[in-house]
Chain A
Amino acid sequence: AQSVTQLDSQVPVFEEAPVELRCNYSSSVSVYLFWYVQYPNQGLQLLLKYLSGSTLVKGINGFEAEFNKSQTSFHLRKPSVHISDTAEYFCAVTGFNYGQNFVFGPGTRLSVLP
């Protein structure tokens, strides 16, 4: 069965510091990978996605992620965070056999401290 692991449930970081949010997945088929962000009391917004091609993917708000097939990882990074990046971040996976259905990780709460 497919699954997504987000190793850190909470990540506190000071403003302007770099951050990495970790995501690992398990799947027996080729996958497509996504990061979504959820601000308080809102729905989920797409940050970035990997479908094919370059393994380094750039998204909105200065975030990027790198697909590593050998390590089955898709970690999210930002070189310098802002207070406004405080939110919950979800990694998700889907694939050809998923029927467009996503499997979501449990989420990582990023808290940016002044």
Chain B
Amino acid sequence: NAGVTQTPKFQVLKTGQSMTLQCAQDMNHNSMYWYRQDPGMGLRLIYYSASEGTTDKGEVPNGYNVSRLNKREFSLRLESAAPSQTSVYFCASSVVYGYTFGSGTRLTVV
């Protein structure tokens, strides 16, 4: 009954470093999403995957890449981190109008 699991929970990066945020769901959902949350701006969609093998850009995709490794896993990669990418990142999965969110990754880029 884990739902959506994100790792790591916290990360500090230096400008220019790379890292991958991991997300896995055990609910057999087809769709998965990556959002970033910034104060006063709600959640903004970075990338999503409607099904295994497909990915699409959301509202704010610049500076990110994603991989839908299989039906369970959807990773988000920052190739060269920038301070503007300091944020809280949420992964979610869904089956027809029902989102389940992970607990988030708090990323700080210095």
Interface residues of A (CB under 8 A from B): 4, 9, 32, 34, 36, 41-46, 49, 51, 90, 94, 99-102, 104-107
Chain B nearest CB from A57 CB (Å) reads 13
Q: How many A-B residue pairs have CB under 8 A?
A: 55
Set of chain A residues within 8 Å of B48, measured between Cβ atoms: 99, 101
Instruction: Label chain B's interface by main secondary structure.
Output: strand
Chain B nearest CB from A51 CB (Å) reads 6
Chain A nearest CB from B22 CB (Å) reads 15
A101 to B46, CA, bound (A): 11
Q: Which B residues, 29 to 76, have Cβ-Cβ distances below 8 Å to chain A?
A: 31, 33, 35, 40-45, 48, 50, 56, 58
Can you report 19 A-B residue pairs in the complex whose CB atoms are below 8 A from each other? A34-B99, A41-B104, A42-B103, A43-B90, A44-B101, A45-B101, A49-B98, A51-B97, A90-B42, A90-B43, A99-B56, A100-B31, A102-B99, A104-B35, A104-B42, A104-B43, A106-B40, A106-B41, A106-B42
Contact with B96, one of A4, A100, A101 (Cβ below 8 angstroms): A100
A43 touches B96 (CB 8 A): no
A44 touches B42 (CB 8 A): no
B90 touches A44 (CB 8 A): yes
Chain B nearest CB from A43 CB (Å) reads 4
Set of chain A residues within 8 Å of B90, measured between Cβ atoms: 43-44
A101 touches B45 (CB 8 A): yes
| B94 interface residue (CB < 8 Å to A) | yes
B40 touches A101 (CB 8 A): no
Chain A nearest CB from B13 CB (Å) reads 20
A36 to B98, CA, bound (A): 11
Beta-carbon nearest neighbor of B106 in chain A: A41
